[in-house]
Structure 1
Amino acid sequence: MHRYLLLLNELESLIESGQWKDGEKLPSIRTLADRYACSNSTIIRALAELEHRHMIYSVPKSGYYVVKSAYAPSLKPSGVINFAASSPDPDIFPYLDFQHCINKAIDTYRNDLFIYGTPQGLPSLIQVIQKQFRDYQVFTQPSRIFITSGVQQALAILAAIPFPNQKTKVVIEQPSYHLLIEYLETHQIPAIGIERTARGIDWDELERIFRCENVKFFYTMPRFHSPLGTSYTKQEKLALLELARKYDVYIVEDDHMADFEEDSKADPLFAYDQSARVIYLKSYAKILLPGLRVGVAVIPEELSRAFTQYKRLMDIDTSMFSQAALEIYIKSGMFERHRHKIRSCYAKRSRLLAASIQQHFGHRFPGIVSACEVKQPMIHTHIMLNERISLSPIITRLKKDGVLLEPIEKHYLKHFPKRNLLKLNVSNVKETDIETGIAKLADAIGDSLERSGLRISYGMS
């Protein structure tokens, strides 16, 4: 990341966090240059951008000052602690940056916006994504990259098209992406569930399914599984690829949380694939906004013709407007700046989440509830309760206390045995609210345990 963008993020953070108060005069350009070991011109450029964003203002012959009340409202507790929502925090969204990209897209592609594009996507965006994907260790040709209306559309197409292995069934982790589950059941596509827990999956059972069932593809979230929050190890990824090769099964890898990875050695399944078995999916919904509706699918050559045909019949092409804005956003360096900022923010929240669970469950129920060591910005996780504890009264009570939680039923196939799990997601919870929300959750579960005389376990499903 460019030094200028890192500096801009740091100065912006000082204002947003309140370390530089409303109306406070900023240190001099020379002082900032010494503090951050950069040139005066870099400081001036960063200050000019902050002024453009209306975060600071300049006074001739005096210096720069923080604009009053620019960010104070977003720092206050919201009154509702929403552990159910998984969308990005609107307070972190780069409105000014993206507004600029939208305006630039209209100017740059004004003619293209009034005609239909191609089912594969905007060619210039595909070139940009090909380059960006190298950072994710996804090396591929432009001909294999398809722009879709979110990952959900790519999954719908893959579930519908015939595969070279001429098989028909879909294997899906349980729990998993609820909209794919709903799609499979609505369209009566044969689906087989395999349980995934904090410990992983039963590899012997997966091999049995691959060997005995007519499996078209296996849908998986190897990295930061939603809603569990867990990831596969390199050894598990290699084992999965070997099973896919051995039994002629394709792997659909949903890497929707790739932008939050901090471990440079944690590569996607796609990076280890030697037999063109992995179909790689990437969404921009978690880091930008769901309304953008831009996803990316890397499709094996033998599937590209069918994928193109089905996509063309489904929507002709993905929104040119969204594609053009995203292209400019990535090319300008704004995406990389935002990714660094949101990853840092979510890392703080994930550490607070883990610490709060350890504090309120570990002390209250020693040896029963344990907090996972946070090595990644894991913004979602789960708590498992004894099957005899009813979640409904707990969720209802917490809602009255301003804490929103969501049960996990919709993340399971209808006839698959369901664990008694609660999802916890902090992407929309302020840092100041996390500990309060977990404390209220612990009290509610504690009261339920006292009435039932049962125990719970955390992260050991």
Structure 2
Amino acid sequence: MTEQIRTGQWPNGTKLPAQRHLALTFGVNRSTLQEAIDELKADGILSSKVGSSTYVSNDSWNMLLKQKQPNWQKYIEASIHKPNYQTIQLINEFEQDDSIIRLSTGELAPSLLPTAQIQASFQQLQLDGKSIGYSSPQGSLNLRAAICNYLTKRGITTAPENICIVSGGLQALQLIAVGLLETGSIVFQEEFSYLNSIHPFQSFGMQMHSVDFKSQDKEIFQRRRGKRQGIYYAIPTLHNPTGRIWSFEKKKSFYAMCQSLQLPIIEDDVYFELSFEALSPPLKSIDTTGQVLYLGSVSKTLSPGLRIGWVVAPSPVIKRLADIKMQMDYGSSAFSQEIVSYWLTSGLYEEHIEKLKVELKRRAELMENLLEQYFKEIASWESSKGGFYIWLKFNAPIITTDFFMNLLNQKVLINPGYIYEPKDTYHIRLSYSYTSDKELVEGLYTLYSEAVQAIEKNREFN
């Protein structure tokens, strides 16, 4: 810990991570960590402020560092962008540890990525100096034309000028936040939402309002929105984290309601290709007024490392988003755009998707069999309709930060429901897309054992 301070990794004023995190990072138990903290406090190197937080002190020899360093902690705490929840920071950190069983990861296992085929496709690309230089603000014209053709199979008719290439769906949300909405805007979402686990809107002063999945009461939207700008973020197909799929009747009635309210819609459709069943058309296919901003991506299907997604929207919106994107990164990778364009136009992409769905369905069935074996008396769930996830609901409120940390100490990583709805203590988003069969068996048994203990403690407490 003193080395972290001496080398400037923990500058003056730094708030130390939670003790559970530090103990896990340093590989010691919490009593040992507490002894070290007490000793450093006695030396004036650490200090406590109001509450239980511990900070790097500005006293004693640490004052020497103050003469050399700015107080970066003040800069961090005053910055615009909101930090992630500590649980999400831990998830992001420990997902890089190969010894961890990742029961909730929202990406494909390396073995499911078409690595050899992507590498071979480099030999088929017809590259010239222009194609690997900076692309136009909206992205490669060849790729946008290929996406137009591809989306016709989804029932969407569009043109290249109505598409902007982005570096994944998350960047699309960030561009929409800074390019289309004013501070104080209302972003509506479902009760459990992916947006609660990231902060593309919150960090720019937008307010998040959750609406019950079944609710389509215009008064709710009118009352909460008032006179402020608003937008609705929806994942009608294979919702993250619940895995739900809206019926076409719900899509039509929802679109009609938003149209009557002049409430724009963000339709996040990055999972649709992974459905195990035939799907109804997306919201964008029935959009007659340019009200739906449609998001797609190859991150969940081909490779997250390519960082290629797209937004389909009216021309003025696309030009605005493209202008801001050019200010941010001067365009997505030219090589990635060429690869995705080739895969979309050669038939390789759809061929890969069909094989991928077969394997994902097999994995989903394995997970459901294991859930039936271990969890049927203590939890409930719906069979997966595709994608990556099963939304597991326990009968007792046991999913807490302590539960998360206990599993992490046993080398099992989960996505607890409270990162999607802060008050939730019942759910876990389980993923079958990343772990091996052996890891899935081991990880779910560890989860079951921990859940049984937590349920017993909950029963005793009540």
Instruction: State the TM-score, normalizing by the size of structure 1.
Output: 0.71
Q: Which secondary structure does the structure 1 equivalent of 2:353 belong to? A: helix
The 5 A counterparts of 1:145-224 are 145-162=163-180, 168-178=185-195, 181-188=198-205, 190-196=206-212, 200-204=213-217, 206-209=220-223, 212=226, 214-224=228-238
Give 2:380's match in structure 1, choosing from 370, 382, 390: 370
Q: Is the 8 A contact 2:177 2:204 kept in 1?
A: no
Q: Which secondary structure does the structure 1 equivalent of 2:339 belong to? A: helix
Supply the distance in 2 between the matched residues of 1:269 and 1:320 (Cα, whole angstroms): 30
Q: Is the 8 A contact 1:228 1:381 kept in 2?
A: yes
The aligned counterpart of 1:81 is 101
Supply the distance in 1 between the matched residues of 2:184 and 2:128 (Cα, whole angstroms): 44
2:149 maps to a residue whose letter is: K
Q: Is the 8 A contact 2:138 2:318 kept in 1?
A: no
The 5 A counterparts of 1:397-416 are 397-412=406-421
The aligned counterpart of 2:136 is 118
- TM-superposed CA distance for 1:241, in Å, is 0.4
Supply the distance in 2 between the matched residues of 1:179 and 1:338 (Cα, whole angstroms): 32
Q: 1:421 to 1:195 in 2, by over 3 A?
A: farther
Percent of aligned pairs with the same amino acid: 23
Give 1:288's match in structure 2, choosing from 302, 307, 318: 302
The 5 A counterparts of 1:51-70 are none
Supply the distance in 2 between the matched residues of 1:261 and 1:271 (Cα, whole angstroms): 18
Q: Which secondary structure does the structure 1 equivalent of 2:193 belong to? A: coil
- TM-superposed CA distance for 1:151, in Å, is 1.4
Q: 1:104 to 1:296 in 2, by over 3 A?
A: same
- TM-superposed CA distance for 1:287, in Å, is 0.9
Supply the distance in 1 between the matched residues of 2:111 and 2:242 (Cα, whole angstroms): 25
Residues 199-225 of structure 1: CA distance to partner in whole angstroms, max 9, x if unpaired?
Answer: x24323753457635243111111111
Q: Is the 8 A contact 2:145 2:160 kept in 1?
A: yes
Superposition misfits of 4+ residues, deviation over 6 angstroms? none
The aligned counterpart of 2:255 is 241
- TM-superposed CA distance for 1:417, in Å, is 4.1
Q: 1:371 to 1:326 in 2, by over 3 A?
A: same
Pairwise CA RMSD: 2.8
Q: Is the 8 A contact 1:222 1:231 kept in 2?
A: yes
Instruction: State the TM-score, normalizing by the size of structure 2.
Output: 0.71
Does residue 448 of structure 1 match 2:454? yes
Q: 1:435 to 1:209 in 2, by over 3 A?
A: farther
Q: 1:263 to 1:80 in 2, by over 3 A?
A: same
* Unaligned 5+ runs, structure 1: 1-77, 456-461
Supply the distance in 1 between the matched residues of 2:147 and 2:178 (Cα, whole angstroms): 26
Q: Which secondary structure does the structure 2 equivalent of 1:287 belong to? A: coil
Does residue 424 of structure 1 match 2:444? no
- TM-superposed CA distance for 1:323, in Å, is 0.2
Which piece of structure 1 moves more, 304-313 or 127-136?
A: 304-313
The aligned counterpart of 2:329 is 315
Q: Is the 8 A contact 1:350 1:378 kept in 2?
A: no
Supply the distance in 2 between the matched residues of 1:358 and 1:319 (Cα, whole angstroms): 44
Supply the distance in 1 between the matched residues of 2:302 and 2:139 (Cα, whole angstroms): 19
Q: Is the 8 A contact 1:211 1:247 kept in 2?
A: no
* Unaligned 5+ runs, structure 2: 1-97
Q: Is the 8 A contact 2:137 2:325 kept in 1?
A: yes
Supply the distance in 2 between the matched residues of 1:337 and 1:181 (Cα, whole angstroms): 32
Residues 403-456 of structure 1: CA distance to partner in whole angstroms, max 9, x if unpaired?
Answer: 3213244434xxx6445432211110223443443233222211211222189x
- TM-superposed CA distance for 1:387, in Å, is 7.2
Q: 1:327 to 1:178 in 2, by over 3 A?
A: same
Supply the distance in 1 between the matched residues of 2:381 and 2:369 (Cα, whole angstroms): 7
Supply the distance in 2 between the matched residues of 1:335 and 1:208 (Cα, whole angstroms): 43
Residues 132-181 of structure 1: CA distance to partner in whole angstroms, max 9, x if unpaired?
Answer: 11222222122211111111222111112247x99933223343234884
Q: Is the 8 A contact 1:210 1:243 kept in 2?
A: no
Q: Which secondary structure does the structure 1 equivalent of 2:110 belong to? A: coil
The 5 A counterparts of 1:70-149 are 80-105=100-125, 108-149=126-167
The aligned counterpart of 2:242 is 228
Supply the distance in 1 between the matched residues of 2:353 and 2:305 (Cα, whole angstroms): 18
Q: 1:114 to 1:304 in 2, by over 3 A?
A: closer
Supply the distance in 2 between the matched residues of 1:320 and 1:179 (Cα, whole angstroms): 31
1:124 maps to a residue whose letter is: N
- TM-superposed CA distance for 1:253, in Å, is 0.4
Q: Which secondary structure does the structure 1 equivalent of 2:112 belong to? A: coil
